Chains A and B, each alone.
Chain A
Amino acid sequence: MLAYVIRRVFQSLIVLLVVGLVAFSMFRFVGDPVDNMLGQERTQADIERLRTQLGLDQPFPVQYWKFLMNAAQGNFGVSYRQGRPVSDIIAERAPATLELAAVSGLFAIGLGIALGIFTAIRRRGIAANLIMTLSLIGVSLPTFLIGILLIYVFSVELDLLPSFGRGDTVDLGWWTTGFLTQSGLVALILPSITLGLYQMTLIMRLVRSEMLEVLRQDYIRFARARGLKERAVNFRHALKNTLVPVITVTGLQLGSIIAFAIITETVFQWPGVGLLFINAIQFVDIPVMAAYLMLISVMFVAINLIVDLLYFAIDPRLRIDGRHA
């Protein structure tokens, strides 16, 4: 067990080092930072002085090490486009993305599990079949088209919900929240549905197939034979055993929600980190791109590590073979 954990952590660190190298080479090789910082009127002496000052005359590994140390302390340099420290910009944008991700995650899990149970229990009903067909169409629609469709129906035609922005936000120290105002809450509805829909259908289909699997087993038949109510059988006995795979898949999908937030944020002009990243790509704002790359990798690697270790903790069978060679 311990050997496995150590090996996994070690692997994760290597991944992060490689990602760091990619981010660092973007700085090193895309454009000359000295060119970017000095104006037209410069002498060779100015260039030399700035190179020494920035540490650009030092060998590559030393520079890389410094870059990693700075990144680990949250120092990613200054945005080329906005002229402010990248860490400040990201800290300012993060609450918007995290709130959006949290609401869509809750939507995906809540509705996904509920509909999954419903379609499994009423397997032959018309409503269940309709939901399954709709979910197929939902999976094949690209996220941005879903967003546009929702805007068209609910903002343009019905004029019920806002189509862009966060609404009014409240400052709570370093965190700005949209949860406390009415316009903030209303503004969350369409983006959360857009972002969570794919994960919702995924969770729904997973819960449904797991439920159908479990409902066939002997202990369920036995529970029914004991005269337990249908509700108790479905929720107390069956649902509990479907949740292990659901938890792990949901964990892995958490990262996807953050990644796909880029698309949703662009459609709804949501002032989050994803929109920041897309703008950074458009304007080749290297420090912002590098910072986003590092942050998202840390998040993905951490989520994967935790889910892998959770597997290990939940399923005793894995402990004997030790997965991965």
Chain B
Amino acid sequence: MTGIPDTELPSDRPDVLPPSRLRRAWDSDFAFKFRRSPVAVVSAAVVAFLVLAALFAPLIAPYDPFNPASLNLMNGFTAPMEPNAFTGDVFWMGTDDQGRDVFSTILYGMRISLFVGFAAVMLAMLIGVTVGLLAGYVGGWTETLIMRVADVQLTFPAILVAMLIFGVAKGFTPVEYRDQMAIWVLILAIGLSDWVQFARVVRGATLVEKNKEYVQAARLIGRKGPAIMLRHILPNVLSPVLVIATISLALAIIAEATLSFLGVGAPPTQPSLGTLIRIGQGFLFSGEWWILLFPAATLLALALSVNLLGDWLRDALNPRLK
């Protein structure tokens, strides 16, 4: 509870409505801690701003970078905020070699980066939580097998695992579908490389929860194993999962950018922030700094703010630090 406790409960007075759901959320411990932390507020604002910008990219972007009809090659290499020498068009963040507006490509690129990041974390969470619950609740050789696989995977850096999965999956895809499938292969690769953290934490929490009385009570009234796992244990192990998901999102965004930068991720037809940085690096020596700088700064802002939010969430949800 925060603030000064009321002397009388609102429900005792018929003329005062009970506090709304929104009001209760605003007054909760969690929201209070959030308001008190400048780092959390700022990074949440940056994340929200970037996510909204990516969501509404088609509405915000002044140009459609994927529509060849809207491109004018004469606009190529226009510096930011300077009118183009031939056409007189002005671009906030300049244009690349093909006359694409850098600001618009960043908005669309962020969409791909965020989509791949979110989807990969969802996949990792789905796998990790499922096998973690199974390992913790069922035990026996299921647990041994799952945890042994997790141990082995953990000895390899995640980015290397993602690269290998990407390579293998690309090999299995027919040549004509490779560019279309690249985004999905990327999600699969990053998701599969990242489930271990979820599985370990969920297993640990499940081991603690399954000996508590409410689980024994559920078992006593004859609920089946899957129902107990999903309806009883899962809601009680979710808060560490949320923390890991946030930190994993930052890692997934960086992993996606790294793979795309290396040329083994998002294809040039669907550029993510990493692909844009890869393109921009080619112009580093010829002086067109804006093609590289703006995508790189966006990636940094995105990864850093998600990371800081995750760190704050970990401290805020940790009962030992209360």
Contacts and interface: CB of A to CB of B under 8 A. Distances in A.
Interface string B151-178: 0100111011001101110111000000
A67 B299 CA distance: 43
A322 to B, nearest CB: 16
Contact of B303 (A142, A277, A301): A142
B243 interface: no
Interface stretch (B13-21, B120-128, B130-138, B259-267): B259-267
Contacts of A296: 160
Where chain A touches its partner, the secondary structure class is helix
A195 to B, nearest CB: 13
30 contacts: A11-B148, A30-B172, A31-B171, A142-B254, A142-B258, A142-B299, A144-B261, A144-B277, A145-B277, A145-B300, A148-B281, A148-B296, A151-B284, A152-B284, A156-B285, A255-B155, A255-B156, A255-B157, A259-B156, A259-B160, A260-B159, A263-B261, A266-B263, A278-B263, A278-B264, A281-B167, A284-B171, A289-B171, A293-B164, A304-B155
A274 to B, nearest CB: 9
Given A141-B300, A145-B300, A255-B157, 16 more contacts: A11-B148, A15-B152, A26-B168, A140-B303, A144-B277, A145-B296, A148-B296, A259-B159, A263-B261, A266-B261, A266-B262, A267-B281, A278-B263, A281-B163, A281-B167, A284-B167
Interface in A208-244: none
B292 interface: yes
**Which of B144, B152, B257: most chain A CB closer than 10 A?**
B152
Contacts of B285: 156, 163
Interface of B: 144, 148, 152, 155-157, 159-160, 163-164, 166-168, 170-172, 254, 257-258, 261-264, 277, 281, 284-285, 292, 296, 299-300, 303-304, 307
Interface in A256-300: 256, 259-260, 262-263, 266-267, 277-278, 280-282, 284, 286, 289, 293, 296-297, 300
A103 to B, nearest CB: 20
User: Chain B binding site: helix, strand, loop or mixed by DSSP?
Assistant: helix
B121 to A, nearest CB: 17
Interface of A: 11, 15, 22, 26, 29-31, 140-145, 148, 151-152, 156, 163, 255-256, 259-260, 262-263, 266-267, 277-278, 280-282, 284, 286, 289, 293, 296-297, 300-301, 304, 325
Contacts of A256: 157
B170 A281 contact: yes
Nearest to B292: A148
Contacts of A30: 171-172
Nearest to A303: B155
Contact of B304 (A140, A151, A152): A140
B263 A282 contact: yes
A15 B300 CA distance: 37
Given A140-B303, A142-B254, A143-B258, A262 B168 contact: no
A57 B166 CA distance: 30
Contacts of B167: 280-281, 284, 289
A4 to B, nearest CB: 15
A286 B258 contact: no
Contacts of B148: 11
The 9 nearest A-B residue pairs measured at CB: A30-B171, A281-B167, A259-B160, A259-B157, A281-B264, A142-B254, A144-B261, A304-B155, A284-B171
Contact of B172 (A29, A151, A263, A267): A29
Contacts of A266: 261-263
A282 B168 CA distance: 11
Nearest to B148: A11
B232 to A, nearest CB: 27
A284 B157 CA distance: 22
Contacts of A22: 168
A162 to B, nearest CB: 12
A144 B166 CA distance: 19
B314 to A, nearest CB: 15
A277 B258 CA distance: 15
A244 B164 CA distance: 33
B200 to A, nearest CB: 15
B143 to A, nearest CB: 10
Give the one of A140, A142, A156 with max B CB within 10 A. Answer: A142
A140 B277 contact: no
A21 to B, nearest CB: 12
Contact of A144 (B164, B258, B303, B307): B258
A262 B261 contact: no
Contact of A142 (B144, B172, B257): B257
A297 B153 CA distance: 11
A281 B262 CA distance: 10
A286 B157 contact: no
Contacts of B172: 29-30
Nearest to B155: A304
A143 B155 CA distance: 20
Nearest to A266: B262
A284 B170 contact: yes
